[in-house]
Amino acid sequence: MKRHVALIVETSSIYGRQVLSGIIQHMRMFDDWSVFLDQHDLTQEPPRWLANWSGDGIISRTTTPELLQTAQATGVPLIELTDRHQSHGRTYVWSDDAAIGRMGAEHLLERGFREFGFCGFTNEAWSERRQVAFSQRIEAAQRRCHQYESPWYGPDALSWEEEQQRLRGWLRTLPTSCGIMACNDLRGHQVVDACLQEGLAVPEEVAIIGADNDTLLCRVCSPPMSSVIPNAEGVGFRAAELLTQLMNGEVPKQTEHLIPPLGVAERQSTDVVAIDDPDIAAALRYIRENACRGINVADVTDNVAISRSSLERKLRQYLGRTPQQEIRHVQIKRVSELLTSTDLPAEQIAILCGFDNPEYMYVVFRRVVGMTPGKFRSKAKSG
């Protein structure tokens, strides 16, 4: 007979859906669960029906003291995935927030920044864990870390307009050329938008990395935002393994299970080397915003207060590329993004990315990337 398992996991976030995907992978291996999925939001109380539920196990992302008491009273094994507070002392599986914070710090340190910021949410344990690890890594590199936080949910949460006003005020206090980590992609989106309103160039003046790699949210940002990739499927799979052990009467050797992140999804918001030269920052911003309109180096010097010789010399100094190579770099990044995220034909992508003809785009793309656009698209979609 199949075991009855309740999954109280939100489907509104990419993280929750990936957790469920990991649970499903485990289910398919053994096919001995009958599952009830309760699609609760993270801010909702656990369902009342649990008090009288006669199932075999629970995996929950909205664990409260009341739910724990109910589980203890009924003897139903429970695996806790709720990371908004400290552990209740039960068996739990979380993303390794400290590792996520350190990974974000390393990504920004590698780009040569000397000033850093962390933007988090008040009274959210997962955000605090990421912030502490980020700050510790920055301070270990003998750099300074500025911090901003405000409530995420509840009566004290700010409206979008109020939040943007406060973020803009915080951004004005930061030094030029700063690397900022946001506790998650929603927070990162707010920071990118505040930079846009404040007239700060991303990534030339402020580089921003989020966390959780919500692809849609990252691409809504302008420019697209880099993000630390958690192993949410790994969290779900491990939770299913542990619940199976508990339902079999086995006692796990440890209660704490932290799943490390997979890496960083690099996008345009951190595609930069820290540059404190305002003329070069302005030139790079112009190139980023106009490369796909078919500009050339003369267009850059006509629109930015810098001579061609200075532009050539300083770009080689900062990036190791010529101005023309930087224009091509931005174009090829955009070609790669469109090949990955759309089904547009290569001929149309060439036009959208500022190439005179598709054949030339093929030649440049193959020279830079090492494969044809068609092979790149096939590899991206299969992997």
pLDDT tens per residue across span 332-361: 988 988 887 788 998 999 999 999 899 999
Report the DSSP beta bridge partners of residue 8: 38, 60
Residue 355 structure tokens: 């190439």
Omega before residue 223 within 30° of 0, cis: yes
pTM check: above 0.85: no
Residues in the chain: 383
Q: Answer whether residue 170 shows pLDDT above 80.
A: yes
CATH code for the part of the protein at 3-94+232-260: 3.40.50.2300
Domain ranges of the chain: 3-94+232-260, 97-230+265-270, 278-382
Q: Answer whether residue 369 shows pLDDT above 60.
A: yes
Q: Buried (b) or exposed (e) across 7-33, using 16+ Cβ within 10 A? A: bbbbeebbbbebbbebbbebbeeeeeb
**Residue whose token pair is 């052990």:** 245
Q: Buried (b) or exposed (e) across 77-112, using 16+ Cβ within 10 A? A: bbbbbbbbeeeeebbbbbbbbbbbbbbbbebbbebe
97-230+265-270 and 278-382 in the same fold: no
Report the DSSP beta bridge partners of residue 34: 4
Higher pLDDT, 166 or 377: 166
Residue 36, number of CB atoms within 10 A of its CB: 14
Instruction: State mean pLDDT over 221-233.
Output: 93
Residue 53 structure tokens: 């539920």
Residues 204 and 285 sit within 8 Å (Cβ to Cβ):
yes
Higher pLDDT, 163 or 251: 163
**What is the rounded distance in angstroms from the CA atom of residue 367 to the CA atom of residue 378?**
18
Residue 48, pLDDT score = 67
Task: Report the range of poorest mean pLDDT among 27-41, 154-168, 288-302.
Answer: 27-41
Residue 204, pLDDT score = 84
Residue 291 structure tokens: 């490369």
Question: What would the pLDDT profile of 93-111 be if each residue is shown by its tens digit?
Answer: 999 999 999 999 999 998 8
Residue 82, pLDDT score = 83
**Which of the 8 DSSP states describes residue 275?**
-
Omega before residue 203 within 30° of 0, cis: yes
Instruction: State mean pLDDT over 244-269.
Output: 89
Residues 345 and 373 sit within 8 Å (Cβ to Cβ):
no
Determine how β-strand 226-229 pairs with β-strand 263-265. Answer: antiparallel
Name the 3-class secondary structure at 120: strand
Residue 207, number of CB atoms within 10 A of its CB: 26
Residues 157 and 146 sit within 8 Å (Cβ to Cβ):
no
Report the DSSP beta bridge partners of residue 6: 36, 58
**Which of the 8 DSSP states describes residue 294?**
T
* Phi and psi angles of residue 270, each rounded to the nearest 5 degrees, phi first: -125, 15
When pLDDT is cut at 50, 70 and 90, the band that residue 243 belongs to is very high
CATH code for the part of the protein at 278-382: 1.10.10.60
**What is the rounded distance in angstroms from the CA atom of residue 103 to the CA atom of residue 179?**
13
Radius of gyration of the chain from its Cα atoms, rounded to whole angstroms: 24
Question: What would the pLDDT profile of 8-37 be if each residue is shown by its tens digit?
Answer: 888 888 898 999 999 999 988 887 888 888
- Percent pLDDT > 70 in the chain is 93
Q: What is the mean pLDDT of the chain?
A: 88
**Residue whose token pair is 């779900």:** 236
Residue 249 is which amino acid? Answer: G
Higher pLDDT, 305 or 97: 97
Residues 66 and 46 sit within 8 Å (Cβ to Cβ):
yes
DSSP string, 252-274: -S-SEEEEPP-EEE--GGG-S--
Residue 51, pLDDT score = 65
- Domain 97-230+265-270 sits in CATH 3.30.70.3270: no
Q: Which long-range contacts (CB under 8 A, 24 or more apart) does 321-329 make?
A: 323/283, 323/287, 323/297, 324/296, 324/297, 326/284, 326/287, 326/291, 327/287, 327/291, 327/295, 327/296, 327/297, 327/300, 328/364, 328/368, 329/368
* Phi and psi angles of residue 352, each rounded to the nearest 5 degrees, phi first: -65, -25
Residue 37, pLDDT score = 82
Residue 89 structure tokens: 């002392």
